[in-house]
């Protein structure tokens, strides 16, 4: 709802920027171990190699500095003596050269493995995300906070690979620091303290700003979704027609401009403050370094340390400062990444309500009694009014039942309840005497085929569009062709340049689009392909001309002899073909019977029938 309010409301959106407590951030770090485990499981060999390479790379800086110290001391010794033996000196130089080459190799190796492992990880987590989203209930998709979670989890796909490199880089730098600090501590332990004091303000500043930036982005999630929606609506093949006809582009662009500019302004403020404080803290760090440097120079002048040691110590101090700053700064972005990770794991914690119970009974084959609605009521999430209330009737096994009612009467809702896209809010639906909730939803869905009015026009081949009815049989061309014949889609496909192989829809190159009625014939093919025990046609024939619809239903009745079926249509010529007709109004039961019985009764059905016969409906 907030989304639509924002879209059409006059008020600018409220960017809630929750201040995150230190505790929240620290607790987000608990996601790092499971995260690293996921990385490891992506490809254990690559992950192991990565760790080994980084271990070696961590030792390089201290080794280079140490060899540098030996070289300078040797040069000084040689200049102060008459000795001309240069072998030792050149061995040292060769060693340093070797270290430089190895270091470069290690860097490239690490970058390569990081990249490959990151790609693999991103792919695998996207797959996991899709798998989990597929398990969730339809009801959860209609909740806007769910969408926010999904959106944030989706955005992680790339940044998670960055987080992986960061965490591994962090470990590598910490190791490097331990090596360097060991050298420094053996001479002047208190230099380490000076280092910490110089770097700490920068760390605290960074962590503060990272937190603000996370809050900003987090608080803007609904608006960012809206921005995406506007961008898509403004320029997509699905919407282009109405955007042009209604002249909507100005309206959409204005809204986009306003929203995106608000985000830019908020972000700019934060980025500017961050840059300002960042410079102050960096200057503090430099002051710490030069303090230590002056001290070391004085010590050298006084002969307390050698020239080689001066380069080693000042070099170590400088490297340590760089590393410590990097580690501390990275720590805040790792913590920030871990916060985002929380969104990712939060999404995975969402559990569907409609799922298999351990005690699920076997699905009846064949269905003996049928489906019984017992005082069923249903209310959509966030809706105030009941879509269906106090509904009791039986859909008998093997009968063809037509649902009749005006727009919004609750017909589609009943279909959704039958196929367990939702569960009733009150009352229950029984299948052969057992509550539908007891069965495994996967079994139920396998035995039910529904073709909705707003069926999906898959931008795939015509053959696949029919095979979607039972996708396991997508290679079974004879079955696809029989289904196409039964639904009258064969004549549509015969006209396509590439027949069953022809991609239909406008989205892709060489795609051929179909008329509304032609699409419906293709979609109806799915019902035959499905060959389920209960078939439901929820007005998928509305775009067919009256004669074609009549023919489609006539065939449907013949071809599904003995099967249970539910038909929804606003055309009474079709409805009267059903064995029984259920009339509902405002989600409530009105009457039920065969066409003749209901006409004889002279109730609501008879009235609607007469109206249509006179051409008023």
Q: Which is nearer to ligand ATP, 252 or 415 (CB)?
A: 415
CB closer to ligand ATP out of 209 and 386: 386
Identify whether the C-beta of residue 219 lies closer than 8 Å to the C-beta of residue 98: no
Alpha helices in 188-248 (DSSP H): 190-219, 221-234, 240-245
Residues in region 38-97 near ligand ATP by CB under 6 A: none
Q: Which residue stretch of 358-366, 401-409, 440-448, 541-549 sits at the interface with ligand ATP (rule: CB under 6 A)?
A: 401-409
Give me the phi and psi of 429, to 5 degrees please: -115, 130
Segment interacting with ligand ATP (CB under 6 A) among 18-26, 291-299, 321-329, 400-408: 400-408
- Cβ 383 to ligand ATP, closest distance in Å? 4
Strand bridging mode 400-404 / 580-585: parallel
Binding range to ligand ATP, per CB under 6 A, among 160-168, 182-190, 191-199, 404-412: 404-412
* Binding test (CB under 6 A) with ligand ATP, winner from 16, 98, 408, 602: 408
Within 356-385, which residues bind ligand ATP (CB under 6 A)? Answer: 380, 383
8 A C-beta contact, residue 522 and residue 496: no
Is residue 387 within the footprint of ligand ATP (CB under 6 A)? yes
Residue from 23, 81, 82, 407 touching ligand ATP (CB under 6 A): that is: 407
Cα-based distances in Å from 73 to 88, 205, 542 = 12, 41, 92
User: In angstroms, rounded to a whole number, what is the distance separating the alpha carbons of residues 181 and 188?
Assistant: 10
**Contact pattern from residue 125 through residue 154 relative to ligand ATP, giving x for each residue in contact according to CB under 6 A and a dash for the rest:** -----------------x------------
- Nearest in space to 291 (alpha carbons), one of 194, 200, 193: 194
Among 69, 413, 520, 533, binds ligand ATP (CB under 6 A): 413
Measured CA distances, 341 to 49, 52, 149 (Å): 25, 26, 11
Q: Which is nearer to ligand ATP, 324 or 523 (CB)?
A: 523
Name the pairing type of β-strands 564-568 and 534-538: parallel
State whether residue 433 is helix, strand or coil: coil
Assess 617 for contact with ligand ATP (CB under 6 A): no
Q: Print the binding letters for residues 210-249 with ligand ATP: x by CB under 6 A, - otherwise.
A: ----------------------------------------
DSSP-based helix, strand, coil % in the chain, nearest 5: 65, 10, 25
206-214, 411-419, 475-483, 598-606 -> range binding ligand ATP (CB under 6 A): 411-419
Instruction: Give the residue with the Cβ less far from ligand ATP, 331 or 373.
Output: 373
Rounded alpha-carbon distances, angstroms, from residue 33 to 45, 208, 237, 248: 18, 24, 44, 49
Region of 78-86, 143-151, 405-413, 528-536 interacting with ligand ATP (CB under 6 A)? 405-413
- Whether the bond into 366 is cis, omega within 30 of 0: yes
Residues that bind ligand ATP (CB under 6 A): 142, 380, 383, 387, 405, 407-413
């Amino acid at each position: 709802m907030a989304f639509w309010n924002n879209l059409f409301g006059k008020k600018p959106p409220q960017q809630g920027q929750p201040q995150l407590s230190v505790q929240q951030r620290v607790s987000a770090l608990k996601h790092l171990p499971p995260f690293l485990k996921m990385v490891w499981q992506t490809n254990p060999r690559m992950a192991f190699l990565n760790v080994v390479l980084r271990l070696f790379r961590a030792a390089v800086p201290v080794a280079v500095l140490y060899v540098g110290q030996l070289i300078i001391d040797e040069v000084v010794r040689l200049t102060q003596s008459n000795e001309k033996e240069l072998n030792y000196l050149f061995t040292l130089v060769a060693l340093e050269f070797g270290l430089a080459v190895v270091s470069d190799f290690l860097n490239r190796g690490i970058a390569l493995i990081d990249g490959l492992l990151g790609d693999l990880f991103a792919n695998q987590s996207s797959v996991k995300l899709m798998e989990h989203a597929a398990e969730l209930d339809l009801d959860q998709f209609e909740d806007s906070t769910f969408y926010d979670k999904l959106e944030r989890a989706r955005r992680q796909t790339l940044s998670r690979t960055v987080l992986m490199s960061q965490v591994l880089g962090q470990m590598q730098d910490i190791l490097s620091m331990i090596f360097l600090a060991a050298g420094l501590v053996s001479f002047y332990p208190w230099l380490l303290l000076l280092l910490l004091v110089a770097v700490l303000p920068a760390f605290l500043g960074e962590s503060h700003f990272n937190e603000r930036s996370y809050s900003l982005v987090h608080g803007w999630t609904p608006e960012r979704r809206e921005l995406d929606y506007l961008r898509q609506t403004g320029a997509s093949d699905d919407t282009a027609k109405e955007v042009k006809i209604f002249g909507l582009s100005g309206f959409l662009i204005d809204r986009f401009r306003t929203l995106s500019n608000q985000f830019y302004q908020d972000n700019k403020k934060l980025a500017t403050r961050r840059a300002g404080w960042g410079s102050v803290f960096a200057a503090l760090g430099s002051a710490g370094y030069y303090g230590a440097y002056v001290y070391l120079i004085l010590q050298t002048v006084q002969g307390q340390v050698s020239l080689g040691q001066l380069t080693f110590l000042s070099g170590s101090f400088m490297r340590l400062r760089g590393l410590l700053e990097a580690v501390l700064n990275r720590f805040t972005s790792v913590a920030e990444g871990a916060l985002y990770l929380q969104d990712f794991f939060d999404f995975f914690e969402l559990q569907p309500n409609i799922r298999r119970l351990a005690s699920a009974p076997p699905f009846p084959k064949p269905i003996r009694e049928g489906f019984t609605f017992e005082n069923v009521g249903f209310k959509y999430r966030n809706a105030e009014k009941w879509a269906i209330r106090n509904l009791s009737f039986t859909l008998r096994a093997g009968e063809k039942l037509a649902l009749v009612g005006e727009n919004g009467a609750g017909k589609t809702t009943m279909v959704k309840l039958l196929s367990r896209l939702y569960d009733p809010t009150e009352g229950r639906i029984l299948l052969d005497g057992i509550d539908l909730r007891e069965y495994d939803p996967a079994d139920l869905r396998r035995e039910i085929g529904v073709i909705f009015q707003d069926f999906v026009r898959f931008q795939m081949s015509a053959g696949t569009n029919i095979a979607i009815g039972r996708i396991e049989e997508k290679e079974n061309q004879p079955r696809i062709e029989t289904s196409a014949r039964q639904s009258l889609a064969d004549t549509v496909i015969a006209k396509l340049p590439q027949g069953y192989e022809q991609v239909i829809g406008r989205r892709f190159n060489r795609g051929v689009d179909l008329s509304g009625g032609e699409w419906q014939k293709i979609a109806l093919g799915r019902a035959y392909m499905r060959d389920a025990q209960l078939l439901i046609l929820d007005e998928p024939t509305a775009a067919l001309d009256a004669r074609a619809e009549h023919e489609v239903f006539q065939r449907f009745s013949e071809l599904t002899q003995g099967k249970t079926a539910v038909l929804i249509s606003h055309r009474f010529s079709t409805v009267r073909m059903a064995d029984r007709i259920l009339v509902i109004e405002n989600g409530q039961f009105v009457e039920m019977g065969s066409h003749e019985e209901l006409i004889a009764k002279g109730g609501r059905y008879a009235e609607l029938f007469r109206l249509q016969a006179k051409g008023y409906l």
